[in-house]
Structure 1
Amino acid sequence: MPSAVRKLLYRLGLSFEDPADERAFVARFTLDDLGRTQAAMLLGAFVYCAFAVWDWILDPAQWRATLALRLAVAVAVLLPATAALSWPGARRRAEAIYLVYCVVPGCVLSLIYLLLKPGFDHAAAGMIIVILFVSTLLPLRLPSLAAFCGLTWACFALCESFAVHERAGMRFVNNFEIGMAYALSLYAVGAREVRARRQFRTEAALRREKERSEAAFADLRRAQAHLVQAEKLASLGQLVAGVAHEINTPIGLALTTSTAAEGDLKQLLRAVETGQVRRSELTNGLARLSEGMRLLFANLTRAADLVHSFKQVAVDQANEERRRFEVRSWLLEVMSTLGPLLRRKGHEVRVACESGIMLDTYPGALAQVISNLALNAVIHGYPDGRSGVLDLTVSRAGEDRLCIVFADDGIGVAPENLPKVFDPFFTTRRDKGSTGLGLHIVFNLVAASLQGQIALSSDVGAGARFVITLPLSLSRAPADGAAANLAVSARAPAESEASP
């Protein structure tokens, strides 16, 4: 196609600049709703043959010959063209098949009217019916329809030049009527094609926007994973610092006690070696050594308990394995790990839990939930640095449910923020480095991994109260997709927004 014609078609909205887009549109336009098009082609073949009745009315002497022509066209062209579209290899040339389907019977129709004695006096009506069928029921583009119009009109004019009209002026009337029909069909098909091209452009633009949105969403998920990892490291640093501070005290006392006991032991040994040991000195020395050993054992036991609790919590959060455990003893281990950090900031932690409650769930995810709530309360519930009271109450809620209530007496949550606290990246302390992921992670863990529900109630100045209800035994494992999405979250202590 010459470049000038291509530019003109592009300006008229009848072509695309990109050849790939043009090929995609042509394939879509010519093969859209192919079943309906084939049904229309079968109908067209039937109507084309059925008009032999009209031939019989016009010229009973020649109608057998015209019927034979019509049947020959149907058998040789119309039906094979219809069947060819069922072959995938022929669909690449669908528009050429449509053009042959239209041009051959349109040209043969002029020959039929030439055989009928008064045929060309009534030819315009038959040609208009063919034009109407082609322009409305077949997916021809404007260039193909223009080719159809040019070829059939030329054949009509040629055949009519050999015909004799019974009435004068019929040659002009026929060509005028057919010309108007061609013009209207060209306009209708052109308008339909322009609309189809606009829709194609819109769909392509929407598809590109969808792809960009999906790519942006994937980037956002990756950024969220990085932020969660950063939250994990930050919270882990706080937790380790608190545990290290707490362990430092008993180990320091044990070291001091062992040093003092070593001095007492050396002094007692010197007295024994000189043989000048008084009973009172021996008694006092043994008493100090006994007291030192008691203090040393007590402090080392305290340090060992802290290390064991910290190790158990770390293993639970790392493994993410489901197991059955007794809630009260497990909860004391979790709070003993959090206790150093909370007490260092001056907060009092009060834990109330019924004994004997057995829970079959993911302890790592549950520990993450409690850790996030505690750290969230410390950071957001007391932004002015004052100390407060954190209450953790665990009890049965019916025969098969567990109720966990975590409350603080901090500054509370503003009413307008209550519906948004579980949203990702929502925080009122963005300027302080908060990212707003903590409670979003809590919500996901409770809803997906632990199969429970969480609710928040709060009044400004009266603290925040989280109520979590969980099944005592999970009914199923989390879905693969949910487990994959929560794999990072379940291991990442984070802080978000409870008491902004």
Structure 2
Amino acid sequence: MRKLLSRLGLRFEDPVDERTFVTRFTLDDLPRTQAAMILGACVYCAFAVWDWILDPAHWTETLFLRLAVALAVLLPATAALRWPAARRWAEQIYLSYCVVPGCVLSLIYLRLGPGFDHAAAGMIVVILFVSTLLPLRLSSLAAFCGLTWLCFAVCESFAVHERAGMRFVNNFEIGMAYALSLYAVGAREVRARRQFQTEEALRREKERSETALSELREAQAHLVQAEKLAALGQLVAGVAHEINTPIGLALTTSTAAEGDLRHLQRAVESGQLRRSDLTHGFARLSEGMRLLFSNLTRAADLVNSFKQVAVDQASAERRTFELHGWLEELMSTLGPLVRRKGHTMRIRCEDGIILDSHPGALAQVISNLALNAIVHGYPDGRSGVLDVAAYRSGEDRLRIIIADDGIGIPSEHLSKVFDPFFTTRRDKGSTGLGLHIVFNLVASTLQGQITLSSNGGGGTCFTIDLPLSVDEVEVSEAAEPQATKRVNLGSVVVSSAPLVEPNANGSE
């Protein structure tokens, strides 16, 4: 039987889905159902007027029956649904609400003289009410039809009809009413079940999508962090290479100074110290201390600059900072790598520009664009010029231009460079996330726009427009990738003509 009902669309194979559907179907819009039940009780009692017209001698008895049914069954059943504990039995309450008055109605017709000559109309009214105003499933309605029709047939067997053939007419009319109501309720239940399946499928798909999106965001956050660490790793390598020079000179100078000091010490101990030896030794030691101080100071400056840049890039903290000095510190950490590759770096920045923003995100953007230019813009060991310019573009706006004179970006790649995982150097270890991260950081964290210009072979230029003070928005490293809602390139303007400003990198 269950398999048959499942095939007909009147039952779910999953018991959990079945219970959930039955609960939702029977209790959906409960206030309206309770209002209909109160209306049904009133109409049931109001038909006592019809009883009086048919048989004035016995209508008081039928009125008593109708009132008894309303007060003992109909109204208590309606009131019971107000208690949450009783709602689990809602379908049984509906069934008793329908069956009792339907069966008592046959007893009323039996008590009235010509009652069964007019019984079909009253029964059809009850069937119409039950099938349209109460949330009965097909199985419950079938139980109602079977019980009330059986009671009607039994009571009618004791009745005497004034006209021949009324028994057949009554049962035919009531049977047709039952058939139509069963079809209507069955079709309504099938539609409700299909709608329920659709809603459940959509809900589950939404949950799966949200779970997948959460996992994707988490994975993207890890990739962003990995990309940040990779950029820092390149900075570390460049700074380490650059710092080796002053440290090495300082070590050589200290070794030479130690030798001169030992030479003076031996001369003093032997008593053969000459004035010229003392003067020459002091001169060499003084020169050594000067070189030692100069090289150690240079190394300390590099370390301090790198520390500030590393702290900024590892943090999403918002703070106020002066752009010129901050930019000089940032580019000094990139300087060793730029010079090692044979490139020249030029920095132009207006003095007195104060930013209230996220220096870590901005450092990540500029570092990614600069490193991207070095890696992709100059293949085969070529050298070039990397220009970084910053100036006010309005009262509360800042424009930063990072340009190079490298090979540029092919026109077929211009619309894809900000897409995640797009790269032409995957075989050489590129992930294709550098410019994607740049776009996210500029559009979300820094609340700005980034535009790209490249004419293929004549360099590339990135122009970043930012507010001097970002709005108060909660920003975290894990949340950065969530801003990647690139339905279109909105803030990304790609053109084939170079900007008036200096050229920038051939990036991917």
TM-score with structure 2 length normalisation? 0.87
Match of 2:502 in 1: none
Q: In the alignment, is residue 360 of structure 1 matched against residue 367 of structure 2?
A: no
Alignment match of 1:499 (pick from 500, 503, 507) = 507
Could you list the per-position Cα deviations for residues 415-458 of structure 1 after superposition, in whole angstroms to 9, with x for gaps in the alignment?
Answer: 45444433433334333322232223223333333333333333
Match of 1:163 in 2: 159
Q: What letter matches 1:342 in structure 2?
A: V
Alignment match of 1:479 (pick from 456, 474, 482) = 474
Q: Measure how far apart 1:339 and its partner are.
A: 0.8
Moved more, 192-201 or 120-129: 192-201
Secondary structure of the structure 2 residue equivalent to 1:209? helix
Q: In the alignment, is residue 195 of structure 1 matched against residue 196 of structure 2?
A: no
Moved more, 101-110 or 260-269: 260-269
Q: Measure how far apart 1:264 and its partner are.
A: 5.0
Q: 1:463 to 1:122 in 2, by over 3 A?
A: farther
Q: In the alignment, is residue 446 of structure 1 matched against residue 438 of structure 2?
A: no
Match of 1:421 in 2: 417
Match of 2:16 in 1: 20
Conservation of the 8 A alpha-carbon contact between 1:463 and 1:499: no
Q: In the alignment, is residue 305 of structure 1 matched against residue 313 of structure 2?
A: no
Match of 1:252 in 2: 248
2: distance between equivalents of 1:183 and 1:250?
A: 99
Q: Measure how far apart 1:183 and its partner are.
A: 1.6
Q: In the alignment, is residue 326 of structure 1 matched against residue 334 of structure 2?
A: no
Moved more, 184-193 or 466-475: 466-475
Conservation of the 8 A alpha-carbon contact between 1:449 and 1:483: no
Q: 1:189 to 1:416 in 2, by over 3 A?
A: farther
Match of 1:93 in 2: 89
Could you list the per-position Cα deviations for residues 247-281 of structure 1 after superposition, in whole angstroms to 9, with x for gaps in the alignment?
Answer: 111222233334444455555666775748585x7
Q: 1:72 to 1:237 in 2, by over 3 A?
A: same
Could you list the per-position Cα deviations for residues 37-95 of structure 1 after superposition, in whole angstroms to 9, with x for gaps in the alignment?
Answer: 11221222222223233333333333333333222222222122112111111101000
Q: What letter matches 2:403 in structure 1?
A: A
Q: 1:102 to 1:383 in 2, by over 3 A?
A: farther
Could you list the per-position Cα deviations for residues 382-402 of structure 1 after superposition, in whole angstroms to 9, with x for gaps in the alignment?
Answer: 344422221111112222222
2: distance between equivalents of 1:419 and 1:65?
A: 87
2: distance between equivalents of 1:454 and 1:484?
A: 22
Could you list the per-position Cα deviations for residues 457-480 of structure 1 after superposition, in whole angstroms to 9, with x for gaps in the alignment?
Answer: 33322333222223333442x226
Match of 2:169 in 1: 173
Secondary structure of the structure 2 residue equivalent to 1:395? strand
Q: In the alignment, is residue 225 of structure 1 matched against residue 233 of structure 2?
A: no
Q: Measure how far apart 1:33 and its partner are.
A: 1.5
2: distance between equivalents of 1:70 and 1:432?
A: 89
Q: How many residues align?
A: 486
2: distance between equivalents of 1:428 and 1:106?
A: 79
- Map 1:357-396 onto structure 2 (within 5 A): 357-396=353-392
Could you list the per-position Cα deviations for residues 337-372 of structure 1 after superposition, in whole angstroms to 9, with x for gaps in the alignment?
Answer: 111112212222110011222223332222222112
2: distance between equivalents of 1:479 and 1:498?
A: 33
Conservation of the 8 A alpha-carbon contact between 1:229 and 1:488: no
Match of 1:493 in 2: none
Moved more, 147-156 or 120-129: 120-129
Q: What letter matches 1:364 in structure 2?
A: G
2: distance between equivalents of 1:475 and 1:204?
A: 40
- Map 1:110-149 onto structure 2 (within 5 A): 110-149=106-145
Identity value in percent? 78
Q: 1:60 to 1:419 in 2, by over 3 A?
A: farther
Q: What letter matches 1:31 in structure 2?
A: L
Secondary structure of the structure 2 residue equivalent to 1:325? strand
Conservation of the 8 A alpha-carbon contact between 2:316 and 2:361: yes
Secondary structure of the structure 1 residue equivalent to 2:507? coil
1: distance between equivalents of 2:54 and 2:455?
A: 94
Q: In the alignment, is residue 59 of structure 1 matched against residue 46 of structure 2?
A: no
Secondary structure of the structure 1 residue equivalent to 2:390? strand
Match of 2:429 in 1: 433
Moved more, 266-275 or 234-243: 266-275
2: distance between equivalents of 1:262 and 1:403?
A: 53
Conservation of the 8 A alpha-carbon contact between 2:397 and 2:467: yes
2: distance between equivalents of 1:106 and 1:498?
A: 85
Conservation of the 8 A alpha-carbon contact between 1:377 and 1:408: yes
2: distance between equivalents of 1:435 and 1:415?
A: 21
Secondary structure of the structure 2 residue equivalent to 1:65? helix
Secondary structure of the structure 1 residue equivalent to 2:151? helix
Cα RMSD after superposing both structures: 2.8
Secondary structure of the structure 2 residue equivalent to 1:379? helix
Q: In the alignment, is residue 153 of structure 1 matched against residue 149 of structure 2?
A: yes
Conservation of the 8 A alpha-carbon contact between 1:421 and 1:498: no
2: distance between equivalents of 1:388 and 1:35?
A: 77
Q: In the alignment, is residue 455 of structure 1 matched against residue 447 of structure 2?
A: no
Q: What letter matches 2:125 in structure 1?
A: I
Q: What letter matches 2:2 in structure 1?
A: R
Q: 1:346 to 1:353 in 2, by over 3 A?
A: same
Secondary structure of the structure 2 residue equivalent to 1:337? helix
TM-score with structure 1 length normalisation? 0.88
Match of 1:186 in 2: 182
Moved more, 284-293 or 114-123: 284-293
Moved more, 227-236 or 127-136: 227-236
